[in-house]
């Protein structure tokens, strides 16, 4: 919850101070989604403390019927959660994927399509993160001299078994390589003790594979991928 609160504050600052209106609008869109997640988390907290639908409805200024329609899935998930049965929950099964991370993946799909690839590789994730322009991960790349236009122009594909034969397709257009990155980003978030998977976790996981397109693209731009990881750890 504290992480989500900090992210909301960061998004507000980014929306207010972004130089480009498009970056500000993307921050507003991400803020809108995170506010929904924040509201649902507070509703879940209230129900854990014994609040009723009527109490929640009164606090939000909506009808009891509207509260029931809006939050019945939240309450159902809360009541079926492992904690409700006295069991310790696996943090990995409860990991929140931030709206910014989801937006970065969406933009990566667009980059893959624009570059003629049928599936998302790590090079497309790198471009998606740069397009998103979030105040942490993308800012680190920009501080190291990585800009979207030059990264796109110098994008290197992901090697598969040591050769460049195109990224194989997978479920929902995600390559096995990119799927492995998502799994690694989850492990990275758990290792850091974060309660969410954010853009910074995706970026770290993307650049660590030395045969991945993101790693190779950074090298082509004269940027050491390890410096990206180090900067994000700071």
Domain range for residue 177?
97-233
> How much is the pLDDT for 211?
85
pLDDT at 226 over 90: yes
DSSP reduced 3-state for 115:
coil
- The residue out of 54, 89, 124 marking a domain boundary is 89
Read off the pLDDT band of 130 (50, 70, 90): very high
State pTM to two decimals: 0.59
* Distance of alpha carbon 229 from alpha carbon 4, whole angstroms: 22
> At 179, phi and psi to the nearest 5?
-60, -40
Read off the pLDDT band of 150 (50, 70, 90): very high
Q: Token pair for residue 173?
A: 């257009």
Same domain as 105, residue 29: no
Q: Average the pLDDT over 152-161 and give the result.
A: 80
Same domain as 214, residue 102: yes
- The residue out of 89, 108, 123 marking a domain boundary is 89
Same domain as 102, residue 76: no
> How much is the pLDDT for 182?
84
Same domain as 166, residue 55: no
Same domain as 119, residue 76: no
Q: Are 98 and 148 in contact (CB under 8 A)?
A: no
* Distance of alpha carbon 234 from alpha carbon 232, whole angstroms: 5
Q: Token pair for residue 134?
A: 């979030």
- The residue out of 34, 67, 89 marking a domain boundary is 89
* Distance of alpha carbon 104 from alpha carbon 116, whole angstroms: 18
The tally of domains found in the chain comes to 2
> How much is the pLDDT for 153?
93
Read off the pLDDT band of 144 (50, 70, 90): very high
Same domain as 119, residue 24: no
Same domain as 114, residue 219: yes
More confident residue, 75 or 43: 43
């Amino acid at each position: 919850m504290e992480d989500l609160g900090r992210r909301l504050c960061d998004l507000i600052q980014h929306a207010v101070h972004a130089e480009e209106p498009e970056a500000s609008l993307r921050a507003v869109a991400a803020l809108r989604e995170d506010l929904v997640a924040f509201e649902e988390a507070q509703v879940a907290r209230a129900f854990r403390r014994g609040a009723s639908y009527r109490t929640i409805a009164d606090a939000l200024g909506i009808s009891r019927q509207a509260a029931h329609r809006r939050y019945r899935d939240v309450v159902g998930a809360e009541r079926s959660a492992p904690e409700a049965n006295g069991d310790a929950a696996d943090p990995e099964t409860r990991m929140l994927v931030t709206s910014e991370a989801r937006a970065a993946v969406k933009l990566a799909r667009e980059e893959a399509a624009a570059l003629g690839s049928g599936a998302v590789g790590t090079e497309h994730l790198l471009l998606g993160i740069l397009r998103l322009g979030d105040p942490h991960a993308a800012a680190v790349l920009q501080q190291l001299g990585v800009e979207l236009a030059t990264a796109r122009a110098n994008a290197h594909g992901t090697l598969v078994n040591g050769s460049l034969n195109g990224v194989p397709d997978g479920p929902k257009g995600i390559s096995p390589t990119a799927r492995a990155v998502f799994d690694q980003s989850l492990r990275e978030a758990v290792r850091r003790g974060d309660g969410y998977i954010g853009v910074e976790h995706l970026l770290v996981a993307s650049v660590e594979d030395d045969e991945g397109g993101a790693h190779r693209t950074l090298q082509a731009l004269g940027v050491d991928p390890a410096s990206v990881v180090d900067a994000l750890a700071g």
